[in-house]
Structure formats: structure tokens, C-alpha cells
Structure 1
Amino acid sequence: MTQSSSWTLYRRLLGYVKPYWHYFSLAVLGYAIYAASSTALAEMMKRLIDGIQNPDASFRLFLPLFVIGMFTARGVGTFLGTYFMSNVARNVVHSLRCEVFNHMLHLSGRFFDAHSSGHLVSRVTYHVEQVTGAATKAVTILLREGLFVIGLLGYLLWTNWMLTLVFLTVTPLIGLVVRVASKRFRRISRRIQSSMGDVTHVASEALSGYKVVRTHGAEEYEKQRFARASNYNREQSLKEALTKGISTPVIQLLVAIALAGLVWLAMAPELMASMTAGEFVAFITAASLMAKPVKQLTEINSEIQKGLAASQELFGLLEVPPERDDGTILPTRLEGHVSFEGVRFAYGDDQPEVLKSIDLDVTPGELIAIVGRSGSGKTTLMGLLPRFYYPTEGRVTIDGIAINEYQLSPLRQQIALVSQQVTLFNASIADNIAYGVPDANREQIKAAADSAYASEFIERLPKGFDTVVGDNGVMLSGGQRQRLAIARAIFKDAPILILDEATSALDTESERYIQRALEEVCRDRTTFVIAHRLSTIERADRILVMEQGEVVESGTHAQLLERDGAYAALYRLQFQEVEA
């Protein structure tokens, strides 16, 4: 990364501080007071030495008051700087974290297909903290210690400008060390951030899938996988510490050499003759005080480089375009006339086609069942309706209008989806059924649960509809989770319903209940049912059989059995499995 692009990144980063300029201004004021009062220590030494040599009554009263005033001002400055800069820091963390999270919620399905959840979570947590270190922690040290250094330099120039210029001869060497260290810090920081994503990803997978891990006896495997990810992170962190550990003492040594030369020159007889003892002590004190802030200023380099490396990833993420939403038509309640016209789809330019020349016309209220082997394209076809993906060729229309002409969010409000992998949130059952609808009517929630035959198990729970279901419904059985998902779809009352293997997790009794519920919920709705159990779709208005991305058969259950083709073969195979 070039110096100009680094500055562009940092300037964009500081843009997040701008809304809190009033807090920032108070912090700057505090650090200015801190720098001035700290610099006054050298002046105090001068007055102390000169006062000892030429004592008088006013000096005896003035010096104690000067000391009290100096440390009081320093305390006030420290408080203002520390508190208000922390205020800015936490506000920046909140703003940036919300912006990144909000942006991710609007990214396309293909983006989530290409990124693991662990790496995405790491960006919202770890990366944001690193960025904030550069935006606020580094600025804190830069202001506090930078103003202190400026104050000391000013005092040194005022006391003896010739000696001060000698002291500044090491500045180019310090700049060279900082530049070399910066490049290494940036490179290592990128690796650390990437490895943190790996650590989060591995831990998330192993902990969320703990049942699979234990039943396969894979604890040792997961321990080793996590240890490898964590060890790589450790190695990179140690490299960062090594760089910091070498660069800081080198800079301190350069300052010490300059300070030693300064002391040697200052003790020359011709210079001693032109300075009072107090001025000499004050000059040496001010020069000595320079070591600590210079050390801290060089150490912020690592914070800045970590922040810039993280901000590169975050700003790169924020620049990923959100889902396309070129639609202008605001749908009210759709009738549900769905058409697929010459639809073809591939997940990437270099990927094989998943859907090939799909032509399908569905009338409002029709129940369409889609069957076929795994990988035949059933779920992908249904993913086009809510615009999770866009056809590479052809178009999909609802009520005669291409779906990309509808506004995206209102269009999705017209579609209810129940998938095989049920997603429940760690909230109450009522909140899960009425998901996305705050303060929903409790009677409507109960009616939806009744229709999905979920009330019978909900009422047996300790707190009924107020029972918290745990992480992804861990407190419930697979069939109960599926019924809650169907209740959520019923509550949404959308004119188009997609059931993707919605009864796959149900036992025979629950399935019988759900079949009755689906007959009720599918009435007056255009319904698409992706089914594995063919017994559940015998009453469908039309059954489509898909193979390798194409519709190879279409008709009613009776028609397809009579035709004795692909559907009949699937039906016989499943019937034999049941018999066995």
C-alpha cells in the first residue's frame, strides 16, 4: 500500500470521529492542558534552582502554589482527555460496527455463499476494535504526547535554540526506523486479522455442531484444528511483538545518544557561562522528559498499522455492492400468478448450469409439488422467486410483471418460506412466530400456532408462548421446530408459499397434523412444495419432476404413475423402502 492510499484510508477512518467533534474538542483541550502543565515541570526546576541560589519571601510562597497549580491542571487535563476520547472511541466502535453489520444484511446470497460466518463475525467484532485503535487510541497518544513534545521543543528552543537543533539531528534516523517497522507491522497485522477469522470460524463450527463432533469421536481432531488456527495467530502476534520490541529500544537509543551529546555540549564552559544554573537544569530536565513521549509516539505506529490493515478489509466489505434493487413497482397483495420463462442459472461464469430452460406457468392458488434427486435444482429454482439469485437467462414474472421490477423488500413480504433447515432465534415462541413484527397481536400468534398444530406442545411448556426456545430452538424437537416455522409462515399470511422439505423432520403423527394444516394454509395461496416423501404430495394440483436442472415430467400423481416414467420409478423405489 502506498503512502497516499494509507493517508486516504486514515482520513476515511477519521471521518467516523467527525460526528463527535465536540467530545473530540474537549479531549484536545484536555491534552493541551496536560502538555502545558507537564512542560511547566522544567520551568519549575529552573525557578527552584534559581530560587535556592537567590532566595526571597515571595519565592517561598510562589513555588508551592506553582506545584499545586501545575499538578491540578495536569489532573484536569488528563480527565478531560481520557474521558472524552473514550467517549469518542466507543461511539466510533458503535457506529462502525452497526454500519458493517447493517451492510452485511443487505449483501447478495452469492456473497454469503463465498464467505464463512466465522470470518464475517470476526469483522464485526475483532476488526472493528482494531480500526478503533487507530482512530482513537493512536490519536489519543498522538495528541497527548505530541502536544507534550511540541511544548518541550518550544521550551528548549526558547531556552537555547542552538542546543535544540543539535538534539533534532536524530529525527531523520528515527523516521527511517519508523518507516521500516510500519511496513512489517501492516503485513503482520493482516495475517493476525485473517487468523482471528479462522479461529472464530473453527470454534463456531465445532461448538454449534457439538453433537456431530461427539458422535463421531472427533474431539481430538477439532482440538488439533483449533490449536493450528490459534497457533498461527500466536506466531503472528509474536512476530508483531518482536518488531515492536526491536524498533522501540532502537528509537530510544537514538534519543539517548542525542541526549548524551546534548549534555556533553551543554557542559562546555562557553555555554555554561551564558546560562544560569536554573536554565541549565531546566534545559536538561526538558530534554530528559522528551524520552517518554517520543517512545510512546513511536509505539503508536503498531496501532495505526493494525487499524489500517483492518480498515482495508472493512472498507472493502462496505464497498461490496448490496443486493440489486432496481424495482420501482410497490406490490400490494399479489394474486400469485407465477411464470418461469426460459430460465437458466449458474452460480458463476465458470460453473456448470444448475437450471436449464425452465418454462413453467402457475395459476393463482395452484399447489405445485417439485420432486427429484438431490442436486437436481429444486431449491435453486425456488431461490429465484424471492430474488436470492437472478437468472443468467430468461425471466421470472409474478402477475405478469418481471420480479426485478418489484421493489425488493415489499416483494419478499409477499412470499413465505419454510425450509428444511429451520432457523429459530433465541427468543420466545411468540417472538419466533411473529418474527419481524414487534408488538404483534397475541390472538393472531395463537391462531397461527393452532393452524400449524403447534399449540398442543406449546401449552405444555413452562411459560407457554413466552418460553425462550434457546439457540436455534435447541430446547425443542425437530418436529416442534418445523411446526413453529410453519406457524411463522401462516402468521405472515403471504399469497405465495414455498415449502422446502417442510415435513422432512416430522414423525408420522406430526406429519399427519401438518398435512391437514398445509391443506388449510395452502387454500387461496400459490404454493410450491419441494418434497422428498412422495406420500405428502399426492393431492398436489401438479407435480414436476426435475433431473439435472430440467423439468422432465409434469402432471398429477395419477397421471405420472400411469405414464410409468421418472416419477413412477421414484415412487416405486420409495414404496419399496417403506415396505422394507
Structure 2
Amino acid sequence: MKVLIRLMKYMRPSMRWVVISTALMLLGTLLDLIAPWMLKQVFDEGIGESNAKIVLVFTLGLIVLQIVKSTGMFWQGYAQELVGQNVVYSLRRQMYNHLQRLSFTYYDKAQTGQLMSRMTGDIESVKNFIGFGAMAMFMGIATFVGTIVFMMFIQWKVTLLSMATIPLLLFALYRFNKKVGPAWGQIREQMGKLTTTLQENISGIRVVKAFAREKVEQDKFESRNDQNFETNMDRARLEAKAFPLMNFYGGVVFVTMVWFSAYFVARGEMSLGSFMAFQWYTWGIIWPLNMLGWQINIMQQALKAAPRVFEVLDTPVDINSETGDIQDSNRIRGNVTFDGVSFHFADQDPSTDTGILEGISLGVKQGEVIAVLGSTGSGKSSLIALLSRFYDVSQGRLLIDGIDVRDYELEGLRRKIGIVPQETFLFSATIRENIAYGVPEATQEQIEWAARKAQIHSFIETMPFGYDTIIGERGVGLSGGQRQRVALARAILMDPPILVLDEATASVDTATESAIHEELLEVMKGRTTFIIAQRLSSVKRADRIIVLDGGKIVQQGTHRELFEEEGFFRNLFNQQEAASAR
């Protein structure tokens, strides 16, 4: 019931259309109830009294009723659909906006396929109920109650006798509702898993083909598909058992109605017109109850889908701008201080688990170039992720220009930090749009300037449509090195006071890497720069090199100072020198 009440709240902005739709529905129901009574008058007052005028009047009246009802049904259908579409629009917009605000902590565990399933199929199920099912259910109840009232007014004895089997039909509906709800819950969950498998396979199709695992992935998808099929067939079996039984009880109601009505007519306790009207009214009892099974299906789909949507909407946003004195990010110049910073993931216990970072204390002045080295898993990328508040520190403070990063307005803070991530992602758009992603108002000259600094301008000019070339989903039209250089140009164009290069040249050859670093010398002037790299050629121009191991700073100094010390830096230097000598 709580889910249903919460869903109804999304109808508030469209309340005017809800009222219009309800009013038209009640009008249509009333006209449906009046029509059999008018038919009764045709037989009793017209045919029975041999009065052609009355026959003509009531026949024309029936025609007018149908015209008015048809017109009302058109506007009611439009109003219903508008309400449903408004609910879908609001839910999708709210869910998408919320997904944009959720931190990396959420996406570390969330499955893309599940989110896609909730954004599409689950919300569509909600729309079907809000936009059609709920109103149809309400109309069925109104028709059922109204029909009984009219029938009781005409002949109450026949009405009561004919409804003897109604409790059996209601009991069948009750049992069906109890069973079909869990079935739809299983279907929504299986659909999410199926979508996840499909999304992962399509996204990783190159890896699948590279390792010749097509058959394995086909088997995995078929397994999910089989589970989805079986779950749907379990639900279909419930319907196959329930719906014929409901139809049978409905048929019994009709036959009983005919028998008792005919008996009372024969005894002179009921007119022929009333008999004809009762045959019409019978369907006002049978079809709402029979249709209720289908409407319960729609309702249960929505009631099982909605919690999956609300689960996302109810996920707390753990990283946002503080509600206190928000600091202006425009004052950021690039002085960075790590003050006893430790970081644990959300599922780690700080009292027992070793943190990704432990007790990091580091001061970086504006314009300084800091290289961060370390083995895989040493915490290099996590250290940088804290700068932009992709995660918040677990202990200590991270200051920029003496102000805690949590006190800056979040969007403004991130606009002041240009990042070239280790895993390059480009959008299915033109090269121009990808480079100008952070600065969409950038001129062509500015875009080309950034591209030249990233050593990608010459290549872009060779493309079929230059900067207007569409590079395909995730940038598949470019090589790994080319994607990295486009991402580098994207960060340079933002002109941020803090620049982060996370393995930004790992996919390019050494000659291109050297050319990029030559161009970056000008870009990095006056700009605080963090360089995460494995190649020592990428960090030789750094003012200071930080070596991380186990989440702690184990070495710190210039290239020359660290070379003279025993440790990770000298070992890495010797390894790369030996490799280049081969």
C-alpha cells in the first residue's frame, strides 16, 4: 500500500487531467447504465403499448448516448495517457538526475544492465498502471456497483438470486492476486539480470571475440534467457488456471440471470423490457470482474517494478556540496594539502581493514608538478580521486588553497580540476564535441589549440570530416593512443588550475609521448599538475616524485634524489633501462 500511495503522488502535477479523466469516466459509466433502462422503455412503453413515437424517441436517445459516450471516451483516453506519460517523464527525469548525483561508491557495485532495466522496463510498467490500469480498475468497480444499484431498482429479487456465484468469482480473484504478485517480482528481477548480461556482452564484444569466447557468452545469455522464459511461463500458468475459472463463474452468473429473469417474466413478476435490460446489465457485472484479473496483472507489475525504481531514488547521495558556508571555487589557485589523509572503501571497516590510503601528508604549491609512482594497487588513482571528491576522505583533511574540498561547491570544484583518466571514455559524437565536452562554448581556434597540445590535431585533419567526424560508441573509431590524446585535449581545453594526468600517455608510443610532454611544458606553467605514470620518461620533468606503497608515502624527492636511494624508484629505473637496452 505504501508503494501505491507513493506512486499516486506522482499524479499530483497532472491532477487537473486526473479529474477530467475521472469525470469523463464516470459520465461514460452513467451513460452505460442508463442505456439498458432506455431499452427497457422501448420494450415496455413502446412495443408493449404499440407506441411508435416512444420507440423512436428512446431509440434516438440511445444513438445520442453512444455519440456522447464515444466523444467522452476519446478525451478520457487522451487525458489518461497524458497522466501516464507525465508520471513516466517525472520518474525518468528524477531517476536520471539522481543517478548523476550518486558518487563513485554507488557505481562501484551497481550493474549497468540493472539500471537500464529499471529506467526502461520497470518505469514502463508503472506507466501502464498509472496511465491505464488504475483508471480501468476504478471504472470497473464503478460499473459493477452502479449496475447492481440499477438492477436492484428494477427487480431486486432477481438481482440477489443471480449474484449467488459472485463470491466464488471474487475468491478466485483474491487467490490469483496473492500468487501473481511474487511471480511478477521474479520476472522483473530476471529481466534485470538478462539486460545486464546483454549489456556486458555488447560492451565487451571485442574482448569476447579476441578470446574466442562467443560460444561461452551465448551459453551464458541462453541460460539467462531460459530463466526469464521459465519465470514468464510460471506466471502464464497462473493466468491459464485463473482466467478460465473466472470466465466460467462469469458464465454461470449470466446463465443464472437468464434463468431467473425468464422465470419471473413467466410468472408475471417481471416485464419483458426488464428482462432485456437485465441481459445488458449482466455484462456490467461480468466484464468488470473478468477484466479485474487482467487489471490485477497490470497492478502487480507496477507494484513489483516501482520498488526497484524507488530503491535507486532512495539511495542517499553521500557526496554533495555542504549546506553550510559554500566556498567560491573561482578562487582556487592550486595549492593542495593532504593532511593526515586516510581512505577506506564503504564496505571496509577502518578499525580492522587496511585502508587504500593511510596517513598521507603532502603539501603541493601552486604550479608544482608532482609525479606519483607506485605498484598496482598502491593507491595512486585513489589519491587523485579524492581531489575531485569522487570519494571523500575517511580520516584527515584534503585542502585546496587552505579550504577543505568538502566546503567547495561540488560542480565548481570539479570544473577547476582537469582529469585525463586512466580508462579513457569518449562519447558517440564528433571529435569536436568530445574535445569541447567540458567547455561546449569553445571556439574552433580554442579546440584546435588544445588538440595541438595533445598532439592529435594533425591526425584529426586526416579524418574524412575533420573535427566533425563521428568516432562511434566509446570512441571505437580511434586507437587507444588516439583516444587518450583526445581525452588529453578535452582536459587541456578546460584551462583548469589543477591538472591530473592518470596514465595519460600510457597508450602512445615513446616518440609521441615525448612530443606531448614537450607541448605540456607550456600548458603546465603556473598550473598544479599531478602525473600518475609507470614510465619514468613521463615523470622526469616533475618537480617532485612521490612513491606510494601499501597506501603510504615511502619515498619523496626529485628524480636525482630518489635515484640515489635504494627503493622502488631505483628498481623501476633499472628495470626500464634494462628493457630499453634489449
TM-score, reference length from structure 1: 0.94
Task: Sort the Cα spacing of 1:114 and 1:438 in 2 relative to 1 into closer, same or farther, 3 A.
Answer: same
Q: Does the CA-based 8 Å contact 1:30-1:79 persist in structure 2?
A: no
- Note the alpha carbon deviations across 1:246-280, whole angstroms, 9 max, x for none: 22232333333344333333344588422211112
Q: Distance in 1 between matches of 2:540 and 2:506?
A: 16
- Note the alpha carbon deviations across 1:360-414, whole angstroms, 9 max, x for none: 1111111111111111111111111111112222111111122112222211111
**Alignment equivalent of 1:332, drawn from 330, 348, 356:** 330
Residue in structure 1 matched with residue 429 of structure 2 by the alignment: 427
Q: Distance in 2 between matches of 1:125 and 1:352?
A: 40
Q: Distance in 2 between matches of 1:495 and 1:437?
A: 15
| Cα drift, residue 44 of structure 1 | 4.2
- Note the alpha carbon deviations across 1:177-228, whole angstroms, 9 max, x for none: 3333223222122221121111111111111211111111111111111111
Matched, 1:226 2:226: no
Q: Does the CA-based 8 Å contact 1:29-1:80 persist in structure 2?
A: no
Residue in structure 2 matched with residue 447 of structure 1 by the alignment: 449
| Cα drift, residue 170 of structure 1 | 4.4
**Alignment equivalent of 1:197, drawn from 189, 192, 195:** 192
Q: Distance in 2 between matches of 1:228 and 1:303?
A: 27
SS in 1 for 2:67: helix
Residue in structure 2 matched with residue 560 of structure 1 by the alignment: 562
Q: Distance in 2 between matches of 1:512 and 1:504?
A: 12
Matched, 1:297 2:297: no
Task: Sort the Cα spacing of 1:147 and 1:80 in 2 relative to 1 into closer, same or farther, 3 A.
Answer: farther
Q: Does the CA-based 8 Å contact 2:417-2:500 persist in structure 1?
A: yes
Counting only pairs closer than 5 Å after superposition, residues 25-174 of structure 1 correspond to structure 2 as 25-50=19-44, 51-174=46-169
Q: What's the % identity of the aligned pairs?
A: 34
TM-score, reference length from structure 2: 0.94
Q: Does the CA-based 8 Å contact 1:185-1:243 persist in structure 2?
A: yes
- Note the alpha carbon deviations across 1:128-152, whole angstroms, 9 max, x for none: 1111122222123124433332332
Q: Does the CA-based 8 Å contact 2:562-2:570 persist in structure 1?
A: yes
Task: Sort the Cα spacing of 1:525 and 1:269 in 2 relative to 1 into closer, same or farther, 3 A.
Answer: closer
Q: Distance in 2 between matches of 1:404 and 1:314?
A: 29
Q: Does the CA-based 8 Å contact 2:162-2:260 persist in structure 1?
A: no
Residue in structure 2 matched with residue 3 of structure 1 by the alignment: none
Q: Aligned Cα RMSD in Å?
A: 2.0
Q: Distance in 2 between matches of 1:554 and 1:579?
A: 27
**Alignment equivalent of 2:358, drawn from 346, 356, 362:** 356
Q: After alignment, is 369-378 or 426-435 more displaced?
A: 426-435
Q: After alignment, is 172-181 or 289-298 more displaced?
A: 172-181
Matched, 1:376 2:375: no
Q: Does the CA-based 8 Å contact 1:145-1:293 persist in structure 2?
A: yes
| Cα drift, residue 420 of structure 1 | 1.8
Counting only pairs closer than 5 Å after superposition, residues 536-575 of structure 1 correspond to structure 2 as 536-575=538-577
Counting only pairs closer than 5 Å after superposition, residues 448-487 of structure 1 correspond to structure 2 as 448-487=450-489
Q: Distance in 2 between matches of 1:461 and 1:558?
A: 43
Q: Does the CA-based 8 Å contact 2:420-2:500 persist in structure 1?
A: yes
Q: Does the CA-based 8 Å contact 2:257-2:278 persist in structure 1?
A: no
Q: Distance in 2 between matches of 1:438 and 1:163?
A: 75
**Alignment equivalent of 2:507, drawn from 492, 505, 508:** 505
Residue in structure 2 matched with residue 528 of structure 1 by the alignment: 530
Q: Does the CA-based 8 Å contact 1:37-1:70 persist in structure 2?
A: yes
Residue in structure 2 matched with residue 22 of structure 1 by the alignment: 16
Give the count of matched residue pairs.
574
Q: Distance in 2 between matches of 1:579 and 1:205?
A: 41
| Cα drift, residue 171 of structure 1 | 4.7
Q: Distance in 2 between matches of 1:107 and 1:210?
A: 28
- Note the alpha carbon deviations across 1:40-71, whole angstroms, 9 max, x for none: 44234323433333322313422441332132
Matched, 1:217 2:222: no
Residue in structure 2 matched with residue 515 of structure 1 by the alignment: 517
Q: Distance in 1 between matches of 2:28 and 2:561?
A: 88
Q: Distance in 2 between matches of 1:272 and 1:497?
A: 97
Q: Distance in 2 between matches of 1:547 and 1:180?
A: 62
Matched, 1:249 2:244: yes
SS in 2 for 1:459: helix
What letter corresponds to residue 80 of structure 1 in structure 2?
Answer: W
What letter corresponds to residue 325 of structure 1 in structure 2?
Answer: S
Q: Distance in 2 between matches of 1:325 and 1:243?
A: 50
Q: Does the CA-based 8 Å contact 1:479-1:510 persist in structure 2?
A: no
Q: Distance in 2 between matches of 1:153 and 1:97?
A: 41
Q: Distance in 2 between matches of 1:413 and 1:182?
A: 52
What letter corresponds to residue 349 of structure 1 in structure 2?
Answer: Q
What letter corresponds to residue 183 of structure 1 in structure 2?
Answer: K
What letter corresponds to residue 338 of structure 1 in structure 2?
Answer: V
Q: Which runs of 5+ in 2 are unaligned?
A: none
| Cα drift, residue 96 of structure 1 | 0.7
Q: Does the CA-based 8 Å contact 1:29-1:77 persist in structure 2?
A: no
Q: After alignment, is 62-71 or 463-472 more displaced?
A: 62-71
Q: After alignment, is 358-367 or 343-352 more displaced?
A: 343-352
What letter corresponds to residue 187 of structure 1 in structure 2?
Answer: P
What letter corresponds to residue 506 of structure 1 in structure 2?
Answer: V
Residue in structure 1 matched with residue 405 of structure 2 by the alignment: 403
Q: Distance in 1 between matches of 2:111 and 2:240?
A: 34
